[in-house]
Amino acid sequence: MKKKVISIMVFVLLAMGGVASIAEGIAKKSDIPQPEMEGEKFHAVEASAQFKEPYIIEEEDYAVVVIDGMKSHRSAEYPMLPYTTKVMTFPLGTKIESIEVKTSEIKIIQLSKKIKPAPEPISLNMENAKVEIKEGSIYESNEPYPSDWITYNIGVGIENGKHVVFLSIHAFPCRYIPASNELLYTNEMEIKVSYTPPEKPLLQNDVYDLVIIAPSQYSDALQPLVEHKENHGIKTKLVTTDEVYGSVYFPSQGRDDAERIKYFIKNAIEEWGIKYVLLAGGLSSPIKSTTWLVPVRYSRLAHGDEKFTLCDLYFADIYKYEDGNITFDDWDSNGNGIIAEWSGVNKDILDLHPDVYVGRLACRTMKEVNTVVEKIIKYENECDPSWFKRVVLAGGDTFNDISGNNFLEGEIANQKVAEYLDDFEAEKIWWSEGKVNQKNMVEALGKGCGFVHLSGHGSPGVWFVKDYIQNPHGKYIWALDVYHIPLLQNGDKLPIVVIGGCHNSMFNTSLYASTTDVIKTIIIKYILGKPYLSYYWIPIPECQGWWFVKQSGGGAIATFGCTGYGLGTVGDSDRDGIPDCIQYLLTWLELRFFKLYAEDGIDVLGETWGNAISDYANTFDCNKNSGDRKTVEDWVLLGDPSLKIGGYS
């Protein structure tokens, strides 16, 4: 994103007009705009919006600004203000020249209380939720916040198999001057975008659809998968890591193995036209290992005690928009050699839109490779509606709300999934009905189903809910651990499992690492009585998200989950009548996956992942808010990105 090279012109609107409208909430992405010529130089596209009158709700210490039908922009320590999003897509190579904004009459409301600042995100871990509301330095400012009526981001990504430029515009009908406690607002807005299209289409090659990157020892075991994909019209190429590093297909370049893989993917997009990348390899051992069969990238975005997190999005985000050009995104925008950094002033600006659909099979042994290959082939060939059209929903009271809204966040999220999958038979395992336990979970999943949504808390080896009635600090309910996954006995009736919680898909764990940490917890926390925060509750060789997939005779066909802390929200802080838990952060991303499948008709697994990530990056400010950036960086697909959801039968 380069805001300095694009002018934003703001005028008071005298006569409204326009060819498109800005929807409240995220708008459906526009088609490639039909241009109108502006002289002989630029093309232009316009959008207009009308906003309802804002009203003020006064709380004990603060005021909340509400516009019906709009949610609020949340950036911790900044005032919460209503906003709406318009996303425009342009052909790859388009240059955005200028953005012009016209408003109707600007009105002023003198407030009696300061506008409420947005709270910090809350981790979905085992600690008690603490809602922190702080005023940042912006509250001393004499200037309007935001600084303009719109903010915007320009990204580069893939949508419906086409490489595009995204222009996401956030329109704020209200702006706040903290020092004078005044609210400025407008009821109408017109936006005009001037742009130069590319001289010719880019990235038009079509040699392969899918590249599988794996260590050489897995080549023979993966060959049946290659043949299976080819039989279903997916042009597939298996490439070993040795071939990548040895410049067999393209010149090898990059500062380390992870960047060499990323440059290879870039070349494969440009020369072969690939859409999917399957990274087939994890750590070299489940016992004790730090050696990767297929490399990983760690994000340097710290959260609490967590300093690094695994981030496979790195391998999908190949390009960025810079000074009107499409360039390689090395995730080191400040050039200091630290990749994906978020530390004070040293913050890398990232594109975060996938340019290829990436999934990982984190196989550590040949047995795991053989198992997952067999599962994928059987699923795509034999998946049957008799069991696929079921969904298992498990959740409870994720946080003990302190806002007066006793929302059962996990169950609310589950219910939203049920509404999206309204033609599925839904089995609900809810804390409010006394059903959450491992026995019920094993029985429900053992019947077979198309989807599972777990919305609660987590660790690498266990998924939990909490009971705040028996204990105001939250009694842990052990809902499902990795050692119960072999008991599922669902055979070939394999679901896609979406796990809401912390660290459930932390696929760099090992038996040594987890056992060592459990021993430290026992000694430091329970014997010495000192504070100690651990990710682990039990010794495990591999994480829950991967265990589901690698389990023979049952388990799952793929999982979505967090490699680090998952983040959530409580209450209804923006007072729009909708629980915040389904409007922001991890649960928003999870629900986006279900919406893309159920309402938008996207039935290829990696495309649901990629579109959900891009939609999130377009809707929220991932380069301003660490919680939003962490949400997309941590969310990993452990599975085949080219998987046909529901199979080909």
403 part of a folded domain: yes
If asked whether residues 23 and 169 sit together in one domain, one would say yes
What would the 3-class secondary structure string for 355-410 be? CCEEEEECCCCHHHHHHHHHHHHHHHHHCCHHHHCEEEEEECCCCCCCCCCCCCHH
- Domain boundary residue among 174, 196, 218? 196
* Residue 528: pLDDT band with limits 50, 70, 90: confident
Q: Reply yes or no on whether the pLDDT at 402 is more than 70.
A: no
Look at residue 606 in the predicted model and tell me its pLDDT.
99
pLDDT, one tens digit per residue, over 268-308 is: 999 999 999 999 999 999 999 889 999 999 999 998 888 99
CA 75, 349, 153, 633 torsion-angle sign? negative
Q: Reply yes or no on whether the pLDDT at 129 is more than 80.
A: no
Number of structural domains the chain divides into: 3
Q: Reply yes or no on whether the pLDDT at 40 is more than 60.
A: no
- Domain boundary residue among 196, 227, 260? 196
Residue 414 and residue 465 in contact, taking contact as beta carbons nearer than 8 Å = no
368 part of a folded domain: no
Look up residue 459 and give its amino acid. S
If asked whether residues 136 and 283 sit together in one domain, one would say no
- Residue 280 sits in a domain whose CATH number is 3.40.50
* Residue 404: pLDDT band with limits 50, 70, 90: low
Chain centre to alpha carbon of residue 110? 38
If asked whether residues 497 and 583 sit together in one domain, one would say yes
361 part of a folded domain: no
- Check residues 96 and 403 and name the one with the higher pLDDT: 96
- Residue 400 sits in a domain whose CATH number is 3.40.50.1460
Residue 200 and residue 117 in contact, taking contact as beta carbons nearer than 8 Å = no
Close Cβ partners of 433 (under 8 Å, ≥ 6 residues apart): none
Which of 559, 61, 16 shows the shortest CA–CA distance to 312? 559
Mean pLDDT, range 161-179, rounded to an integer: 97
243 part of a folded domain: yes
If asked whether residues 406 and 441 sit together in one domain, one would say yes
Mean pLDDT taken over the chain: 91
Chain centre to alpha carbon of residue 598? 18
If asked whether residues 175 and 229 sit together in one domain, one would say no
Residue 283 and residue 217 in contact, taking contact as beta carbons nearer than 8 Å = no
* Residue 406: pLDDT band with limits 50, 70, 90: confident
Q: Cα torsion at 545, 627, 568, 551 (round to 10°)?
A: 0
Tokens coding 602: 């996207």
356 part of a folded domain: no
If asked whether residues 175 and 272 sit together in one domain, one would say no
First to last CA, the chain: 43
If asked whether residues 492 and 623 sit together in one domain, one would say yes
Look at residue 67 in the predicted model and tell me its pLDDT.
97
If asked whether residues 237 and 184 sit together in one domain, one would say no
If asked whether residues 155 and 228 sit together in one domain, one would say no
If asked whether residues 164 and 230 sit together in one domain, one would say no
Least confident of 2-6, 155-159, 515-519: 2-6
If asked whether residues 90 and 189 sit together in one domain, one would say yes
pLDDT, one tens digit per residue, over 436-486 is: 999 999 999 999 999 999 999 999 999 999 887 766 667 789 999 999 999
Look at residue 25 in the predicted model and tell me its pLDDT.
36
Look at residue 153 in the predicted model and tell me its pLDDT.
97
If asked whether residues 438 and 585 sit together in one domain, one would say yes
649 part of a folded domain: no
Query: In which domain, by residue range, is 343 found?
Result: 210-347
